[in-house]
Amino acid sequence: MPKRRNRKKWWIAAGILWVLILLFRMMPLYKPAPSDPFSGKYWYNPYRQADQEGRWLRANFHAHSNAWGFFTNGRKNSVEDILSKYDSLGYDVIGVSDYQHITQTAATPYIPVYEHGFNILKTHQGSIGAKSVYHGDYILLQTRSQKQHVLNKLRERTQVLVLNHPDWMGGYSPRDIRFLTGYDCFEVLNDFWNSEDLWDVALSSGKPAMIVGSDDAHNVFKQTDLARDLTVIYSVSDSLNADDIYRALISGAAYGVEVTKRMSRAQVIEKRRTLDSLPLLRSCKIRNDSLIVTLTGDARDFSFTGQDGKLLKQVTDSVNGIESASYRLQPEDTYVRVKITLPDSSHIYLNPVMRTVEKDLKPPMPASQKRGLFSIFDK
């Protein structure tokens, strides 16, 4: 009898150990990623190759259809409805991003996208160029390590990893943003929330987060769901292909546009006319330590922002309008980004120029590192 009892105890111990190992694998702890500001003697300019040879594409990567029964407010909102509305608005790139599901569409180029996350505080991520869906998440309050773990899992399965509406409901806190790493883009502009201040936290802690602007449309029959926040992407080739789009988003050859409140309520035809009339970025260059930004039309104001979100310079002319503005880069500047206010009060948000160690190389995201014992499992 004692022998059998011993064996039972052994099995219980082995079972507990197995559960512990599983938990240990599922919930690793990560060291905070380094949060040093950008440094180096060179400037990385994401627009250095954007000139008049190429063209600027209108894109939206965030719209929910009824193709997947998870959740959408749309009465119909089929994939076809989304494609046809955005086509009428003159969009070149249309992504249908359902929750936890890659929805196939007939759009060309076809960009496989989905939105990850089913936790209570809207800590969501956008997967652009998704290879497969990651079905895990932490549904209650998430620690920074858990957020990092989800990002790492998504990283393995996607081309472009976006923090969606990061500031909304505190989905990511400023502290999270200082110490999280491994993503590509920041959805600074979203119909529900503007995360501009939090973007400066990421940039100020040396994370080369590039901008994305999205509608987060749930019902394309509601005017206010359409063409409010968009991503404008630079393309050299006339034949659009998905890889070029991923490359442009990651390298930063794109910018965000936020239309006015009045325009957000307008009909599709008026929205289209307004979008067609907005000036585009003609060039963004660094010459003799000066950052020079030029549009194809007039603006009212150019604001230059740097480390810790500090306003470095503002150039305004609301009477005559201005097409171009410049800022003399200072030795202490780590990044400088430009926000432009157009005559109708809509905004253009450019990606930052950042200090970098290697010429023409975007400063890298720091690698995520597990704490002590957790590092025995590699991912």
**Residues at the site binding Zn ion, with contacts judged by CB under 5 A:** 124, 164
Backbone phi, then psi, for 9, in 5-degree steps? -60, -40
Shortest Å distance, C-beta 177 to Zn ion: 17
> Is the Cβ of residue 98 or residue 244 nearer to Zn ion in the bound state?
98
Nearer to Zn ion, 164 or 251 (CB): 164
Measured from the CB of residue 255, what is the shortest distance to Zn ion in angstroms?
Answer: 22
CB of 124 to Zn ion, least distance (A): 4
Q: Considering beta carbons, is residue 95 or 366 the nearer one to Zn ion?
A: 95
Supply the minimum distance, in Å, between the C-beta of residue 367 and Zn ion.
27
Handedness of CA 11, 14, 18, 23 (dihedral sign): positive
Those residues with Cβ within 8 angstroms of residue 276's Cβ, 6 or more apart along the chain or in another chain: 90
Give the pair of three-digit tokens for residue 323: 């097409």
Report the candidate in 308, 290, 358, 303 with the shortest Cα–Cα distance to residue 37. Answer: 308
Nearer to Zn ion by Cβ, of 77 and 164: the residue is: 164
Minimum CB–partner distance for residue 221 and Zn ion (Å):
20
Q: Dmax over Cα atoms in the chain, in whole Å?
A: 97
Identify which of residues 142 and 164 has a Cβ nearer to Zn ion in the complex: 164
Residue with the shortest CB distance to Zn ion: 124
Q: How far is the CB of 254 from Zn ion (least distance, A)?
A: 20
Q: Which is nearer to Zn ion, 18 or 71 (CB)?
A: 71
Q: Could you tell me if 129 and 112 are in contact, meaning their C-beta atoms sit under 8 angstroms apart?
A: yes
Shortest distance, position 198 Cβ to Zn ion, whole Å: 15
Q: How far is the CB of 192 from Zn ion (least distance, A)?
A: 8
Is the CB of 164 or the CB of 334 nearer to Zn ion? 164
Say how far apart CA 179 and CA 278 lie, in whole Å.
37
Minimum distance from residue 361 beta carbon to Zn ion (Å): 32
Residue 217, both tokens: 């449309």
Q: Which residue's CB is nearer to Zn ion, number 124 or number 149?
A: 124
Q: Least distance (Å) from Zn ion to the CB of residue 61?
A: 12
Report the residue number, 64 or 85, with the smaller CB distance to Zn ion: 64
Q: Which residue number, 158 or 164, has a Cβ lying nearer to Zn ion? A: 164
